[in-house]
Amino acid sequence: MNNEQQQIIDESYNNYLTYIHDVVQGENQIYGDWYGKEEFINKCKTDPEFSERWGLKIEERELSLEERRKLANYDSVFVSPMTVESWDRNNIPTKLITTTKITKIESYE
């Protein structure tokens, strides 16, 4: 994950922690589970309602071999073919992670 994605996640998680501290603790009541950062991220990946509530959408998918080839900048036919093992040794990414900050705007007329 790059720095910008990490900042988006940190901001959403801090909003979540603020809510837990200010609202839930302030009322001296316990509402459901409280999540650590890793659990929070996993919940955002798997629960659309939860991710929308905290303004964070995280999607992961495996890259195809063609996508990995392009990332490796392997376009030359004059060089011996690179293998998947060499891509792995050279840390060519295997996953695409998309992080989206959700801003929900509702209006009533």
CA atoms of 44 and 9, how far apart (whole Å): 10
pLDDT of 30 over the 60 cut: no
CA atoms of 80 and 26, how far apart (whole Å): 65
Give the tokens for residue 30. 């316990």
Query: Which residue, chain included where needed, has tokens 């996953």?
Result: 95
Bridge-based pairing of strands 95-101 and 56-62 is antiparallel
Report the pLDDT averaged over residues 39-45: 94
Q: Considering only residues 28 and 71, tell me which one the structure prediction assigns the higher pLDDT.
A: 71
Q: Which tens digit of pLDDT belongs to each residue from 57-95?
A: 999 999 998 888 888 876 554 445 677 888 888 888 999
Report which of 69, 60, 62, 75 is spatially closest to residue 92, judged by C-alpha positions. 69
